[in-house]
Structure 1
Amino acid sequence: MGSMLDCISRALIIAPHPDDEVLGCGGTMMRLAQQGTQVHVAIVTKAGTNRFGPDVARIGRSEAHEAHALLQVARTHFIDLPAAELDRVAHADMNAALGALVTEVAPDTLFVPFIGDVHLDHQLTFLSAMVAARPRGGKGPQRIYCYETLSETNWYAPGITPAFVPNVYVDISDALEAKVQAFNCYRSQVKQAPDERSPEVIRALACFRGATVHRPAAETFMLIRQIE
């Protein structure tokens, strides 16, 4: 029996902010690209000048391109909605933006942030991604997975809010260093351990997730929908 990755020919990873895609799916992205899958990444938000300063958006976009080149991403899409202000965007407008992207890319597999992440941008991105992925007219992604994002997924209130309970494990033993190198491309976001946004903690989570299924390293997901 083949891996679930073997079934994916075109994947779209939707990231609320630059670096979320690498934290959640960097190793899986590398494995997919190496097997010939067309990997697309969508960065939903852009750092506004008034809130984040004049250079943050430019730096983030440059870092994303560098990280994605390392992971052999086919194309990066920037939607440029306002970061940390998605709650001020009309939900219909956000739905339309992500809907247009899903129609354009036509992915068979969608990776989205977890609804239980503490950051509201992540929650709203999940909701609009699910709207965009509705299988109307027999179209839409065949598979939808939620990924976990260090410093977001683990900081809400499990037991009160939705808990991330993985049911899909992807072996990234041979792709872990590529994931870490790709995150290091986001120089503006790299922190010193024990901060979660550090290479050491990224490795630690991957090793922990891998150990639970007797692998050196893994990324984990929650399967939302699969159509066969």
Structure 2
Amino acid sequence: MSKIVIVSPHPDDEVLGCGGTIGRFASKGDEVVLCIVTKAYTPDWSPEYIRKKAEEIQQSNKKLGIAKTIFLDYPTVKLDTIPQKELNDALSKVISEHKPDLVFIPHYGDLNRDHRIVHEASLVATRPFSSNIKKILAYETLSETEWGHSIAQFRPSVYIDITDFIGLKIEAMRLFETELKDAPHPRSAELISALAMKRGSEIGVKYAEAFMLIREIIQ
């Protein structure tokens, strides 16, 4: 059994970036741990929105088969106000406690600065000699990765066939009613499916998710 940690800056990033992959690993009996770094807060978001989001997270995680969710509870879109060492230490603790074989992290070039900060902190948390991680992959997040491409382009080098799990991914995203949009918005069911189909076409399968390889150890 493999141990996998998904580092998600915001709730639903994990579904957009690797929801099908999560479902695939969980279906094989692998242990998938989700670490959500930030949370919404008042008065920027209403108490009703915050309550609804908590329910959506729980329902989506159950749908995907996520074994455990860790909430770091830093303020969303305000990670640049948090000392970098504090975030580094928080993520390092997650990695050291769960000892994953595989870690998924956001792409550095995403538009949202939270994503870039989490990417950097994740690299610190997973640095060599501090863990037994065999592979680190960066995922693409619709409405973040493609909108921020001028900063650092996402260049996929690893693909995972999710043909049997695209339906699960869409169902999990539909549970995020506060985040799902209507087409042609990137965070719509139609565009999520379209990206997975495009990525699948790049490797000769119907649906896939694409990742950038950060580090891999072959023994």
Superposition TM-score, scaled by structure 2 size: 0.96
Q: Can you list the C-alpha shifts for 1:28-52, whole angstroms capped at 9, x where unaligned?
A: 0000011111011111001111222
Match of 2:190, as an amino acid?
E
Q: Can you list the C-alpha shifts for 1:136-157, whole angstroms capped at 9, x where unaligned?
A: 25x2421100000000000014
Deviation at 1:116, TM superposition (A): 0.3
Q: Can you list the C-alpha shifts for 1:96-126, whole angstroms capped at 9, x where unaligned?
A: 1111111111111100000000100000000
Q: How far apart in 2 are the matches of 1:9 and 1:157?
A: 32
Q: How far apart in 2 are the matches of 1:177 and 1:157?
A: 28
Picking from 191, 199, 204, the partner of 2:194 is: 204
Picking from 52, 62, 72, the partner of 1:69 is: 62
Given the alignment of the two structures, is residue 116 of structure 1 paired with residue 104 of structure 2, yes or no? no
**Residue 81 of structure 1 corresponds to which residue in structure 2?**
74
Given the alignment of the two structures, is residue 152 of structure 1 paired with residue 144 of structure 2, yes or no? yes
Picking from 120, 124, 128, the partner of 1:127 is: 120
Deviation at 1:135, TM superposition (A): 2.1
Q: Where does the alignment leave 5 or more consecutive residues of structure 2 unmatched? A: none
Q: Can you list the C-alpha shifts for 1:67-123, whole angstroms capped at 9, x where unaligned?
A: 110111111111100101000001111111111111111111100000000100000
**Residue 176 of structure 1 corresponds to which residue in structure 2?**
166
Q: Percent identity?
A: 41
Q: How far apart in 2 are the matches of 1:36 and 1:130?
A: 27
Contact 2:110 2:149 in 1 (8 A): no
Given the alignment of the two structures, is residue 97 of structure 1 paired with residue 87 of structure 2, yes or no? no
Query: What secondary structure sits across from 1:195 in the alignment?
Result: coil
**Residue 141 of structure 1 corresponds to which residue in structure 2?**
133
Query: What secondary structure sits across from 2:57 in the alignment?
Result: helix
Query: What secondary structure sits across from 2:43 in the alignment?
Result: helix
Q: Where does the alignment leave 5 or more consecutive residues of structure 1 unmatched? A: 1-7
Query: What secondary structure sits across from 1:116 in the alignment?
Result: coil
Q: How far apart in 1 are the matches of 2:128 and 2:158?
A: 22
Match of 1:146, as an amino acid?
A
When the two chains are superposed, the root-mean-square deviation of aligned CA atoms in Å is 1.1
Deviation at 1:170, TM superposition (A): 0.6
Query: What secondary structure sits across from 2:89 in the alignment?
Result: helix
Match of 2:147, as an amino acid?
W
Given the alignment of the two structures, is residue 165 of structure 1 paired with residue 158 of structure 2, yes or no? no
**Residue 99 of structure 2 corresponds to which residue in structure 1?**
106
Q: How far apart in 2 are the matches of 1:59 and 1:227?
A: 41
Given the alignment of the two structures, is residue 47 of structure 1 paired with residue 48 of structure 2, yes or no? no
Q: How far apart in 1 are the matches of 2:6 and 2:96?
A: 14
Matches within 5 A, 1:215-226: 215-226=205-216
Contact 1:27 1:219 in 2 (8 A): yes
Q: How far apart in 2 are the matches of 1:76 and 1:28?
A: 16
Superposition TM-score, scaled by structure 1 size: 0.93
Give 4+ residue runs of structure 1 displaced > 4 Å after superposition.
none
Contact 1:18 1:61 in 2 (8 A): no
Deviation at 1:227, TM superposition (A): 1.2
Query: What secondary structure sits across from 1:153 in the alignment?
Result: coil
Match of 1:112, as an amino acid?
I
Deviation at 1:59, TM superposition (A): 2.0
Contact 1:49 1:55 in 2 (8 A): no
